Structure 1
Amino acid sequence: MKMEQFNDRNVADNGYFLVDIEDYPTDGWGKFKRVVKRSFKGELFVGLWVVLREMIRFDTHTVKYPEEKMPIGPRYRAVHEMKRLWESDTERCIGCGLCEKICISDCIRIDTRIDENSRKEVSEYTINLGRCIFCGYCAEVCPELAITHGGEYENASDQREHFLLFEDMLTPIDKMKAGKQLEFEGFGAITPHEDERVKKTPLAY
């Protein structure tokens, strides 16, 4: 194909033709005939057959929430969780404050103090779920894998300031003793048969 055919802007000689379109009716009887003509075509009965076929199949796809819930992926970013150490059952958070610094929605507040053993501990840790956009930056920057996103997505509240406290996010002791703490599936996750290899250490956690 030559470039002259593209450069030629004379549309009258390039085979253009007008489409034969019927005039729109102006009276009531003409509009009624147009509706009937457009309605009773094959496409209408095809759509009706699809609906009827799905009705008589009785294959329900509706999830009966809250009795039934859809499975979510392991990397789903829902309400935050704070992890404990497998060796001493104490919290992993060391109070570095990186999660507070990297939070782009400014929803994390963390306060630390020095305990009687001259170690820094977290005195207050809150997350405002009303401001959180669940981006996952706090979980990615945590050097101890202390904060992750869990699978709890039911966080509706009647208050605009819906805060999540450190104690609410921390893994319960009974769940920790039973070995049911879900780890973040990624870098640093607990490998299979790790329970047999975890031993008590003399470190004062």
Structure 2
Amino acid sequence: MGFNEFKNRNISEDYVTVQEDNYPKTSWEVFKQVISRSVKGELFVGLKITFGIMTRALFKGEMATVQYPKEKLPIGPRYRAVHKLLRLLESGEERCIGCGLCEKICIANCIRMETKIDENSRKVATQYTINMGRCIFCGYCAEVCPELAIVHGGRYENASEQRAHFSLKEDILTSADGLGAQLEFDGFGSVSKDADKKIKKTPLSY
């Protein structure tokens, strides 16, 4: 193959140029082409579907869209969203024992905690922050926690105007008033469903 033949890439005789001679040349031909393409059956089929959905939405109340944020779609039970710090159901104290395993295992390096010994000689976390801007929601912190203190809840709305709002302990800690609505997650150390039936009176030795 010579150099000129190499530069000419259209060396095959089997090429067919699509619609080479069908382009409209006058305004009347453009108008006829638009009309011929618009009056096909596909257009009316699409309009039929659109008007059917609009009629059901206006007169039958069958809305196809979700009116967010007034309406929200259900979330799966295993959905992992914004973290939650849980409390003990018996005393209301925080479950976190300040072991620091969640901070060490975090691959995004977004968890920070400071601990101290309280008046009850119990190690507690004085500051516990999670940078939601860095968190990848892998779930390692919840899996490694020996006390089920940190879990992933169902709250997925964490938009804010300031980055400082992404890491406040007060936002993810269960309030003392809302302890009755706290959901228990299955796992090591969690309260079983038949825990009340298993409670027995302590036998006395006298």
TM-score range normalised by the length of the shorter chain = 0.7 to 0.9
Q: Distance in 1 between matches of 2:148 and 2:200?
A: 19
Q: Distance in 1 between matches of 2:15 and 2:174?
A: 74
Distance 1:150 1:199, change over 3 A: farther
Q: Which amino acid aligns with 2:176?
A: I
- Give the corresponding residue for 2:65: 62
Q: Distance in 1 between matches of 2:148 and 2:199?
A: 17
The answer to whether 1:27 aligns with 2:30 is no
Deviation at 1:196, TM superposition (A): 4.1
Distance 1:95 1:198, change over 3 A: farther
User: For 1:67, what is the secondary structure of its paired residue?
Assistant: coil
Distance 1:17 1:132, change over 3 A: closer
- Give the corresponding residue for 1:91: 94
- Give the corresponding residue for 1:3: none
User: For 2:155, what is the secondary structure of its paired residue?
Assistant: coil
User: For 1:109, what is the secondary structure of its paired residue?
Assistant: strand
- Give the corresponding residue for 1:148: 151
Structure 2: where are the runs of 5+ without partners? 1-11
CA contact 1:80–1:148 (8 Å) conserved in 2: yes
Q: 1:80 aligns with which of 61, 80, 83?
A: 83
Q: Which amino acid aligns with 1:138?
A: C
Q: Which amino acid aligns with 1:41?
A: K
Give the alignment's TM-score, normalised by structure 2: 0.74
**Greater share of helix residues, 1 or 2?**
2
- Give the corresponding residue for 2:192: 191
- Give the corresponding residue for 1:166: 169
Runs of 4+ in 1 over 4 A off after TM superposition: 16-22, 116-119, 185-189, 198-201
State which drifts further: 114-123 or 71-80.
Answer: 114-123
After superposition, the CA RMSD in angstroms is 3.0
1:53-87 deviations in Å (ceiling 9; x for gaps)? 11222211333333332221222222211112233
Give the alignment's TM-score, normalised by structure 1: 0.75
Q: 1:110 aligns with which of 100, 113, 120?
A: 113
The answer to whether 1:121 aligns with 2:124 is yes
The answer to whether 1:136 aligns with 2:139 is yes
Q: Distance in 1 between matches of 2:97 and 2:200?
A: 21
Q: Distance in 1 between matches of 2:28 and 2:45?
A: 27
Deviation at 1:42, TM superposition (A): 0.8
User: For 2:33, what is the secondary structure of its paired residue?
Assistant: helix
Q: Which has the higher contact order (CA 8 A, sep 6+)?
A: 1
Deviation at 1:117, TM superposition (A): 5.5
Distance 1:136 1:197, change over 3 A: same
User: For 1:36, what is the secondary structure of its paired residue?
Assistant: helix
User: For 2:69, what is the secondary structure of its paired residue?
Assistant: coil
Deviation at 1:89, TM superposition (A): 2.4
Distance 1:200 1:50, change over 3 A: farther
User: For 1:148, what is the secondary structure of its paired residue?
Assistant: strand
1:151-178 deviations in Å (ceiling 9; x for gaps)? 22222211133243334322222332x3
- Give the corresponding residue for 2:52: 53
1:107-163 deviations in Å (ceiling 9; x for gaps)? 211112234565432121111223223232211222221101112222221113324
Distance 1:62 1:37, change over 3 A: same
User: For 1:122, what is the secondary structure of its paired residue?
Assistant: strand
